[in-house]
């Protein structure tokens, strides 16, 4: 399986070449086409004031520029410190890949004729005065409400006297401005982009506490700047506010998709705590900062089915099978932690557009393959980037005991790495020996080939969409992930 992946990736490289460096007076420097693609793509969600496009990349800049402000309106806590912590990561310059994907994909879906987007009734609150929907039968919005309106009375949701100066509870969400007729992205799709970034940012707050990180996006991490407790509570609050916004989309299918992404993030984190299918830890214990902690055994009062991912290689199991099992574990964990949010939000954007099942499925697969590619490149950069370029501590995976793709590829050729992986590189010199093996076995190069295969699959998924500037921007962004430096 893995050999086939690598061969197909090599074939892809032969057909597609992209500049990887440029010459300057001081020498050769790498080109980060991912950064270029992000800057170009952000121009692809909003037309200019004249109503015409000056270049192919002039469709979403207004929405991306105002993303943080829009999310701040959604957060809406009356407690000043909670507001400060919750909005902390939105102040820094982030990649914002997930909302950008939702917006560009939504724009691409608009090019499908409206008569071919009749899987669900598109709410009149969604289409407003957009001429492209002039032939759509008038329909009453689900629950007779817009995306900004509450379902329950506000007096019940907030339980406050609106005249109180300090409100320690959640405030009503600010109204979502309607899009103009040229843009065409539905209000629910824009709100979806904001929700996705809120969920992602909540996961970052939690991850930095779990990983004991001290930096994020080039400045102190939330837990370091505010304390662990405040970072965890702020992440919880973001998820709570995101859940309110999810419910107000008033589409059961989309609510289900986005709600499961939150569960997936937690499941992926638990898989990462176990690290891999190979582990020296007893089944009845967990690693607690280097010390084994015995977990309480089930009493039997509540039926609990145990799904144990851990596989201790029994006698007779060959090395290749063991490594392949570790790769399957790694890819499943990667899907849950990174690709699930991208894939399910991409699917949600297609559902809200009214597109048919084949389009919806390809949008899901696009997000899945792109998400896997993105995280695999991220794992590769952990071995190749400096702290300053990466925006967070590099070379951290081995220090955390994580066996990602580069070291798994090295393990294929160096069976002795299995013992180090099993003990999470906890003994002296384990990290240095593992890094040396990665270099000698070209683990980074093989990881890059794996990422290229998922990149190619994502590009194939996009071909179900009509040709458009937005689809071209998605293709550019997808290709550029392979050359990003942070």
Q: What is the DSSP string of 49-74?
A: TTSS-SSSS-SSHHHHHTHHHHHHHH
Q: Which residue has the tokens 């890949």?
A: 97
CA distance 352 to 475: 22
Q: Output the tens digit of pLDDT for each of the chain's 486 residues.
A: 444 544 444 343 344 444 444 333 334 445 566 666 656 555 555 444 333 333 334 566 767 777 888 888 888 777 889 989 998 998 877 778 899 999 999 999 989 988 889 898 775 555 444 334 434 444 444 434 567 777 777 666 766 555 444 444 444 444 444 444 455 688 889 899 999 999 999 999 999 998 888 988 889 999 999 999 999 999 999 999 999 999 989 899 999 999 999 999 999 988 887 766 666 666 677 766 667 788 888 888 888 766 555 445 555 678 888 899 899 999 999 999 999 999 999 999 999 999 999 999 999 999 999 999 999 999 999 898 765 554 555 568 888 888 999 999 999 999 999 889 888 888 999 999 999 999 999 999 999 999 999 999 999 999 999 999 899 999 999 999 998 876
Backbone phi, psi, residue 189, to 5°: -70, -35
Query: Kind of pairing, strands 219-220 and 215-216?
Result: antiparallel
Domain with 328 in it: 1-29+259-464
The pLDDT of residue 282 is: 66
Q: Phi first, then psi: what are they for 293, rounded to 5°?
A: -115, 125
117 domain residue, yes or no: no
Residue 61 tokens, joined:
């800049």
Query: Considering the domain boundaries, does residue 486 fall inside one?
Result: no
Two tokens at 100? 């950008």
Determine the Cα–Cα distance for residues 416 and 401; give it in Å rounded to an integer.
16
Q: What is the pLDDT of residue 79?
A: 82
Chain CA centroid to CA 143, Å: 30
Is residue 418 a part of any domain in this protein?
Answer: yes
**Considering its fold, how many domains does the chain have in total?**
1
Residue 56 counted as domain residue: no
pTM of the model: 0.80
How far, CA to CA in Å, does 236 sit from each of 92, 150, 273, 461?
20, 21, 20, 34
Is residue 474 included in any domain, yes or no? no
How far apart CA 248 and CA 250 sit, in angstroms, is 5
Whether residue 93 lies inside any domain: the answer is no
3-class DSSP assignment, residue 172: coil
- The two tokens of residue 93 are 């310059």
Question: Does 77 fall in a domain?
Answer: no
Please check whether residue 166 lies inside any domain of the structure.
no
User: What CATH code is carried by the domain that includes residue 309?
Assistant: 1.10.600.10
pLDDT of residue 178: 45
Q: What is the dihedral of CA 476, 193, 347, 148, to 10 degrees?
A: -150
């Amino acid at each position: 399986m893995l050999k086939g992946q690598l061969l197909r990736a090599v074939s892809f490289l032969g057909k597609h070449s992209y500049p990887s460096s440029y010459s300057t007076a001081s020498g050769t420097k790498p080109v980060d086409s991912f950064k270029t693609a992000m800057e170009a793509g952000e121009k692809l969600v909003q037309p200019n004031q004249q109503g015409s496009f000056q270049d192919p990349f002039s469709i979403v800049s207004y929405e991306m520029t105002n993303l943080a402000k829009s999310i701040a309106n959604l957060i809406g806590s009356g407690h000043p410190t909670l507001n400060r912590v919750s909005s902390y990561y939105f102040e820094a310059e982030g990649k914002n890949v997930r909302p950008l994907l939702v917006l560009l994909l939504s724009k691409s879906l608009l090019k499908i004729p409206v008569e071919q987007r009749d899987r669900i009734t598109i709410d009149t609150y969604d289409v407003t005065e957009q001429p492209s929907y002039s032939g759509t039968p008038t329909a009453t919005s689900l629950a007779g409400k817009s995306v900004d309106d509450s379902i329950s009375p506000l007096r019940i949701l907030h339980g406050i006297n609106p005249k109180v100066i300090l409100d320690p509870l959640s405030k009503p969400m600010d109204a979502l401005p309607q899009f103009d007729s040229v843009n065409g992205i539905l209000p629910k799709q824009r709100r979806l982009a904001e929700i996705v970034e809120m969920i992602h940012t909540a996961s970052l707050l939690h991850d930095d506490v779990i990983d004991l990180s001290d930096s994020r996006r080039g400045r102190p991490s939330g837990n370091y700047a505010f304390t662990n407790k405040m970072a965890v509570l702020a992440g919880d609050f973001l998820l709570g506010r995101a859940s309110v916004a999810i419910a107000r989309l008033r589409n059961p299918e989309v609510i289900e998709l986005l709600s499961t992404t939150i569960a997936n993030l937690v499941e992926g984190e638990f898989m990462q705590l176990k690290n891999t299918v190979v582990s020296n830890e007893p089944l009845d214990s967990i690693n607690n900062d280097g010390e084994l902690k015995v977990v309480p055994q089930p009493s039997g009062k509540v039926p609990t089915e145990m799904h144990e991912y851990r596989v201790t290689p029994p006698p007779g199991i060959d090395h290749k099978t063991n490594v392949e099992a570790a790769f399957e574990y790694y890819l499943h964990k990667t899907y849950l932690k990174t690709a699930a949010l991208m894939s399910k939000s991409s699917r949600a954007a297609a559902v809200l557009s009214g597109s048919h099942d084949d389009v919806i499925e390809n949008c899901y697969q696009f997000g899945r393959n792109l998400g896997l590619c993105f995280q695999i490149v991220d794992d590769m950069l952990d071995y190749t980037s400096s702290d300053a370029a990466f925006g967070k501590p590099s070379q951290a995976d081995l220090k955390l005991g994580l066996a990602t793709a580069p070291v798994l590829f090295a393990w294929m050729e160096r069976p002795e790495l299995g013992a180090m992986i099993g003990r999470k590189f906890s003994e002296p010199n384990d990290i240095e020996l593992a890094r040396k093996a990665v270099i000698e076995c070209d683990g980074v190069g093989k990881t890059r080939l794996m990422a290229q295969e998922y990149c190619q699959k994502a590009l194939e998924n996009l071909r179900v969409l009509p040709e458009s500037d937005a689809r071209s921007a998605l293709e550019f962004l997808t290709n550029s992930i392979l050359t990003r430096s942070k």
